[in-house]
Amino acid sequence: MHQKMRCLKLAILFNECMSEFNYHHLRYFWAVAHDGNLTRTAERLNLSQSAVSVQIKQLEAHLGHDLFERRGRQLILTEAGRIALDYADAIFAAGRELIGTLQDKGRGRQAIRVGALATLSRNFQMEFLRPIFARADVEIVLRSGRSAELLQSLEAQNLDVVLINQPPARDAVTPFVSHRLSEQPVSLVGTAALLKETSDVVELLKTQPLILPTSDTGIRIGFDAWLDRLGLRPQIAAEVDDMAMMRLLAREGVGLAVLPPIVVQDELTSGRLIEVDRLPGIGETFFAVTITRRFPNPILAELLDGRAI
């Protein structure tokens, strides 16, 4: 309780002081806090170390609390420093958001910046964006990457939405909002050549090689549990962390693939691949992740349709 009261008092003090101090001091502190190194920050800002140090000392004097403590060559945030950094993150993110929003409003075309997990189905991404494809006033900016880097870009206001297959944790510091878009079944699919002997799923699992997602995915975890209940130990031809690569391997007949049919919908329609059967109790859920913003991108409303969890 004493710890919580101290944090509350520091937060109130910081809030009361905001209108009085020089925001340059706060920006220097913010830069050093994220770099974790005074020398590196000074070089990046093209300033002397002493100049940056003086700015931070002035901020500490104004707040009445040390914001860093030295451990060897490293600068470690104090309790007050962590509180100050939370405020600084919010302040500078809001500034970037304001500039970006007003600049977009002043243009003839609006931009929607979408990040997608690199392993996510391209077909699913296309379906998500389809409602705005025909809009001449919208520019779509697509970025792919790992979950952590995409969510970091979302926090920094560099992305409007992140498409992902596992919702991130939400807390008071990082208020992610996860919108459940779709839950896709998972099937066993393959070429006609691999299915010519039988269409019985259990028999195929015993006799044919498999193309599987990697072991850290929800699909693989569910599939392995189902195999364990059946007492099966199939032959694995490939473990792949990219749905697009799974699609290519399945088309080449390397093995039977365990994936959502939406990933290979074109091949299923053309007959190049055949869906053997849906796998019971196994699915993949797709989410669109946003953060609470003062000026939300209006294009998102068309894409999200009010879905959130």
How far apart (Å, rounded) are the C-alpha atoms in residues 206 and 198? 11
User: What CATH number has the domain spanning 183-283?
Assistant: 3.40.190.10
Tell me the pLDDT of the chain averaged across its residues.
Answer: 84
Q: Convert the pLDDT of each residue in 117-154 to its tens digit.
A: 888 888 889 989 998 888 888 889 999 988 889 998 88
Q: Using CB atoms within 10 Å of the CB of residue 41, give its burial: 0 to 12 exposed, 13 to 18 middle, 19+ buried.
A: buried
- State residue 202's pLDDT score: 92
Sign of CA dihedral 112, 118, 120, 122: positive
Q: Convert the pLDDT of each residue in 52-88 to its tens digit.
A: 888 888 888 888 889 888 877 778 888 888 888 888 8
Q: Convert the pLDDT of each residue in 147-189 to its tens digit.
A: 889 998 888 888 999 999 888 887 766 778 999 998 889 999 9
236: its two tokens: 């694995």
Task: Calculate ∠ Cα 42-43-45, nearest 5°.
Answer: 65
4-13, 70-79, 149-158, 244-253: segment of lowest average pLDDT: 4-13
Q: Report the residue count for the chain.
A: 309
How far apart (Å, rounded) are the C-alpha atoms in residues 84 and 30? 8
CATH of 2-101, one of 3.80.10.10, 3.30.465.10, 1.10.10.10, 3.40.50.2000: 1.10.10.10
Pairing between β-strand 176-190 and β-strand 274-291 as defined by DSSP bridges? antiparallel
Residues paired with 110 in a beta bridge: 138
Q: Binning pLDDT at 50, 70 and 90, where does residue 309 land?
A: very low
Class of 109-182+287-304 in CATH: alpha beta
* 60 CB neighbour count, 10 Å cutoff: 19
Q: Using CB atoms within 10 Å of the CB of residue 309, give its burial: 0 to 12 exposed, 13 to 18 middle, 19+ buried.
A: exposed
Is residue 13 scored above 80 in pLDDT? no
Domain locations along the chain: 2-101, 109-182+287-304, 183-283
Q: Convert the pLDDT of each residue in 216-238 to its tens digit.
A: 888 999 999 999 999 999 999 99
